Amino acid sequence: MRIAIASDHAAIALKAELREWLIEQGHEVADLGPETPDSVDYPDYGYRLASVVADGTAERGIALCGSGIGISISVNRHPELRCALVSEPLSAALAREHNDANCIALGARLTGSDMAKACVTAFLETEFAGGRHQRRVDKLSNPSC
């Protein structure tokens, strides 16, 4: 799977660990930055991630910041993105199954690397259920549906 990953400075270590782990799992990973721990603005990286997932360059996105909140808000500004802030695998799976989330957000200061990997695994392995959920997902990008 083609996966894009981006963070702010607070999550750079978790981003690097997840990037290497995903590559080991056989995924193609686009690291959208940042490259150094210098302070950056999370919206810049959230917008970049949203653009890459929306245009199809990446099939899924992983957004990281200290809490996961700020970057998830910035990703969700894009009408084609559905980014769920998760902290455990069940939420990650339900975000895919019910909401067709194409991005998840994790907080590096709140989620350890093993739990982050479990969330990413659930996110990547769960399929969208469609059916009654499709109508609701359609309304996320087009409220007049």
Which residues are known to be catalytic?
65, 98
d(CA 60, CA 12): 19
Alpha-helical (H) ranges within the chain are 12-24, 42-54, 69-75, 89-99, 113-125, 132-141
d(CA 87, CA 115): 8
